[in-house]
Amino acid sequence: MAEELVLDTAIRDWVLIPLSVVMVLIGVLRYFVSKLMRSPAASTSPDPKLVREGQVVIRARNLRTNSQFIPAKAFKARKVYYTNEENGLLHVPKEDAQKAQAAMFSDPNMAMDMMKKNLSMIVPQTLTFAWVNFFFSGFVAAKIPFPLTQRFRGMLQNGIDLSTVDVSYVSSRSWYFLNLFGLRGLFSLILGEENATDDAQKMMQMGGGFGFNATMFGRGEGQLGYHPA
C-alpha cells in the first residue's frame, strides 16, 4: 500500500513557491531579452503574404478539428477549396516550396534570429535546471488533490526512487518541469497572446509560407479528414 506523507509547510514556503515564482520571472525576463536581441529587420511588421498564409493554415486546422459539426458534403467542398491542385489555398507547387525554403535558409538575419531565440531559451532553462537539481533535489514538494494511476509516477516523481510513495505526490524536479511546460497560459495573460514563449507555435502556423504540401491533408492524425460525431 502506498505511504501517506505529511508535507512540512516549510517545503511550501522555501521550495514550492520559490520555484513557481522563479519560473514565471525567468519566462518574463526571457521575453524581454528576446525582444532586445531581435534584429531590426525582424522587428518590422511581418510580410502580409506570410500572415495571410498562416491564417489559412489556422482555418484549415479549425475545419479539421470541428469537422464533426458540419455535414460530410459541406466538409468535402471545403476540403477541395483548400487542397485542390489547381487553385487550392493550401496547395503550393513543388518549385515554389523549394524557392521559399532556399530563401529562408539563405537569409543570414533569419538564421541569426533563430540562433538568438534558441540561446535565450536554452541558457536560462539549463541554469534553472542546474539550480533546481542542486538545491531542491529529492524534495517532495506538493500533492495532487486527486488519485492518479501508476503511469504518472515517472512524470510526477522524477528524482525520487521510492515505489511505496503514493503517485499523487510531486517531486521538486517534476514541479520544475510542470511549470516549464504548463505556464504558457499564464504568460499569455501577462505578456499577451503574441509573446516570445509562442515562437514555436507561430512558426508552425506560418509554415504555409515555407511550402505546405496539400497532399498531406488526407485522412488521419494531423490531416484534413472527416470525423463524424
Give per-residue pLDDT as tens, 148-174. 888 888 889 888 877 888 899 999 999
Average pLDDT over residues 31-37: 82
For residue 51 the three cell numbers come to 500572415
Total residues found in the chain within this entry: 229
Distance from C-alpha of 70 to C-alpha of 20, rounded to nearest angstrom: 43
In this prediction the pTM is 0.59
Provide CB contacts within 8 A for 4, sequence distance 6+.
166
Per-residue pLDDT at 111: 72
Bridge partners of residue 165, in order along the sequence = 3
Backbone angles phi, psi at 143, to 5 degrees: -135, 130
Cell of 5: 506523507
Give 83's contacts (C-beta < 8 A, 6+ positions apart): 90, 91, 214, 215, 217, 224
